[in-house]
Chains A and B, each alone.
Chain A
Amino acid sequence: MSSILLAEQLLNGLQFGIMLFLMAAGLTLVFGVMGLINLAHGSLYMVGAFAAAAVAGATGSFTLALIAALGASALAGALVEIVVIRRLYRTEHLDQVLATFALILIFSEGTRWVFGSFPLYLNIPDTLSGSVTLPGGIRYSLYRLTLIGIGLLIAFGLYALIAHTRLGMQVRAGQSDREMIAALGVDISRLYTLVFALGAALAGLAGALVGAIQSVQVGMGEPVLILAFVVIVIGGIGSIKGAFVGALLVGLTDTLGSLLLPLGLAWFMEPSAAASSGAVLASMSIYILMAAVLMIRPSGLFGVRQ
């Protein structure tokens, strides 16, 4: 195996991890601040992708498509928060799971109703298509490289927002004691709607960005949602830093696992057996990673110990 292939897969893993971070950040924020487990987060990812595909199809502009994705998913998030989610903060996790499962059914079938069952396609803008040559002679897709850049910028922005702004201060205060900050005069329900819409917008952006490399279809959000769950369980629920580290770990494990496991097994197995059992092991590798992390730290890498 050449080192160029390995470097390319490393970058793919990084890109995958960073997109997972955009999903996981919203989930972990919503859980950290409101104590809510939101299965419908994947639907907001799908809403972003569909909004982007529809606007790109109508106007041909990728920038407008991204703006539409952010707007539509933030709006859908705020609406869902006000109509349904708000009533769930004080209920048990079981009710939250069921209600957000119901939201998935409504979102998925509603989207199928409006857009039909066939996948839509979102094209990579011309300025970002093609590939660039990186130091060391590695040729890599410019669009994927841009995704890594955007993701890192957002991660940094989110860190600055949480650590250095007034809103971030309220979010952190809300995580540790919601009654107290309500007593200090912060409009808690507006804060919750804002945090939920922010998480939704990040998910929608991820959906639109990834939608350009994959197809945009109903049900695209749920596999990513489950990976995002794995990410925040590994990182520790409620921790943005944990979500970032967890997302990169999951992205790299998944991408490198499917490359390296068959090669590794080939040392002591027949090539065909190694290829098939390598593929099986690779598809399970992130769950094995999660189980291993939980064996050592039951509340995740950066989670608060219970």
Chain B
Amino acid sequence: MSRESIVNVVLMLGMLAVPLWAYSADEPFIITLTTRAAILAIAGVGLNMALGQGGLVSLGHAMFFGLGGYSMGILASHAQTYTPLMTWPVVIEGTSSMPVIWLLALLMSGIAALITGALSLRTSGVYFIMITLAFGQMFYYFAVSWPAYGGDDGLSIYVRNQFPGLNTLDPIQFFAIVYGVLLLALTLAGIIARSPFGLALNAARQSPARVEAVGISPYRLRLAVYVLSGMVTGLAGALFADLNRFVSPSMFSWQTSGEIMVFVILGGVARLCGPVAGAAVFIALEHFLGGLSEYWHVYLGALLLVIVLFARGGLVGLVAGQRHAHD
């Protein structure tokens, strides 16, 4: 096993051990905190596909996170009030079943990624960063000014949605669901990285002209990974909304995009478990620094600066060493 694989296994076991310890010590708050970290890690794994594999610096992933959240909010609020979502041409009822909500979250974020990606990927570099940021803001303002689902105030869901065979209101069982989804997302990211598709994508990042010369369209590769990346982040959004039982336009805000990017870069770009390390450290900092000072973002900012300027490769890179091959 390479050093990075060992780091990955330790990370994932650690993420499992903390809530199990908290369960035995009867500390439900710690379980919820770890669940939060795991959900944000899924969002980061999604972004890391586009950012790490495809080299696509998207500053608009809050768009997918929010769409996932609102998929949950809209379906669950209709289930809560027993009103159908639409009556024409077919009657669609709301639902409180997690798998159905996830399907809608995947579908909505996939469609949004396809449309915004097809437009944004016509550009590159700084233009791409700014356009994804602007599309994210477009969804933010849409959510703020659309009154049907709470507008600026957001939408509260009183009971957590159900998953067949489990009691989702029990923190440790909800954590188990989230952890399972995180493992699935990591497996997908790992498979993509090793597949011919992932290899072509890496090649397209390093030398688009050569990839084009062998007859592969970099545009289509990037669009495909952008859509997959958006869908994974969208699923994380649905879980995040279920964790808080609340959705609001702030899930669409550009700060959310920035934070998801921070998880990825803090942990290490293009490292499989980088986002897991990044999200875990972010949540830990938020918890401990937030307890020390109301203004903990100052320290977070200073820490980020130090990492960008001096620790290239993020936390996983720091522990597992720099990679020389394939870079």
Taking beta carbons and an 8 Å cutoff, which residues of A are in contact with B?
31, 37, 84, 87-88, 91, 93-95, 97-99, 101-106, 108-110, 112-113, 222, 226, 229-230, 232-233, 237, 276, 279-280, 283-284, 287-288, 290-291, 294-295, 298-300, 306
Contacts and interface: CB of A to CB of B under 8 A. Distances in A.
A226 B269 contact: no
B51 A31 contact: no
B88 interface: no
Interface of B: 51, 57, 59, 119, 122-127, 129-131, 133-135, 137-138, 141-142, 144-147, 254, 258, 261-262, 265, 269, 295-298, 300-305, 308-309
A112 B295 contact: yes
A283 B144 contact: yes
A91 B310 CA distance: 12
Contacts of A237: 126-127
Nearest to A288: B138
A295 B116 CA distance: 12
A284 B261 contact: no
Given A97-B59, A106-B301, A226-B133, A283 B141 contact: yes
B254 A222 contact: yes
Contacts of B119: 291, 294-295
Dominant SS among interface residues on chain B: helix
Given A280-B142, A283-B144, A98 B308 contact: yes
Contacts of A287: 134-135, 137-138
A290 B57 CA distance: 19
B131 A102 contact: no
- Closest 4 pairs between A and B when the two form their complex, measured CB to CB: A105-B301, A102-B304, A287-B138, A106-B301
Nearest to A230: B134
A226 B269 CA distance: 25
A84 B231 CA distance: 35
Interface of A is mostly: helix
A300 B134 CA distance: 14
A284 B138 contact: yes
A94 B51 contact: yes
A280 B147 CA distance: 9
A284 B144 CA distance: 11
B124 A280 contact: no
Contacts of A84: 305, 309
Contacts of B131: 233, 290, 294
Nearest to A92: B57
Nearest to B124: A306
A93 B132 CA distance: 14
A277 to B, nearest CB: 9
A229 B134 contact: yes
A246 to B, nearest CB: 12
A197 B92 CA distance: 57
Contact of B133 (A93, A229, A298): A229
B304 A101 contact: yes
A285 to B, nearest CB: 10
A87 B296 CA distance: 25
Nearest to A101: B258
A31 B254 contact: no
Nearest to B254: A226
Contacts of A97: 57, 59, 129, 261
B141 A299 contact: no
Contact of A105 (B124, B126, B269, B300): B300
Contacts of B51: 94
